[in-house]
Structure 1
């Protein structure tokens, strides 16, 4: 089944603005956006602050982690409809949303489940939302959906590991196999196999030699 390209625009906007306001800016990592055939994931650096819980944010409770940023957003820097009400509004408009808090990994993930609307195959794409300081201001798809009936390998969506590999390659086009192994905590054989799959799918290619070349994501 073909999935909706996004959830409702306003719901998506609420969740992105919420991620920008409440992420932990002391963690040196970007907000990451993944679009799969069955869901959208927004992964923010930092877990919920203080005694805030998922149950509490579902009912509209909030704890401002970045009060100065929140004050500027309230003045019109980004779309803003009231403190502590963004998650609640998003759930009212699109109930198929769940949240995952990873305190050990210092991450907070929002999963927006997409709905089937027809019959076709769609590939996920990876996007990253940030500016030079790691503050999100724009969303750019580094990968776009592809489907070629003559190549059955394109029927298989990108795996979570492959998306994470593309994140690292986007941040450092000269990243080595060993660096991918260390960053993603996988063995060299697994990384090599997935690199080869990405090449065969027409998503990734190597430009230049192994020592002085770089990776290129094919848009």
Structure 2
């Protein structure tokens, strides 16, 4: 469940770049490869951050961020709209649903028939090895 949401909240920059980026961002980080215990441990010190980190990448609008926050599993348009407390179908579609679809954050379960009665929307699961 966590990985389902993490792909939309955390920027993916390519396989094998995590450790160099961690070392660049946190020079005091400890990386411990415990072969005997068959585990890799990352130890960081506690840091106070004055500026809040955005939950979603900055290119995502506040409306799309709200949509992503209420989505879970596969959902009907009416259920997403209801969870957001929105009544106007056109406003929801143009400001929430379509930008999320265009941004590649969600997908239709029946893409060939956008007006299909059983149509649902879900997060797009990105394969990090693709």
> What TM-score does the superposition give when structure 2 sets the normalisation length?
0.45
Q: Which gives a bigger RCO, structure 1 or 2 (Cα 8 Å, sep 6+)?
A: 2
Is the strand fraction higher in 1 or 2? 1
> What TM-score does the superposition give when structure 1 sets the normalisation length?
0.29
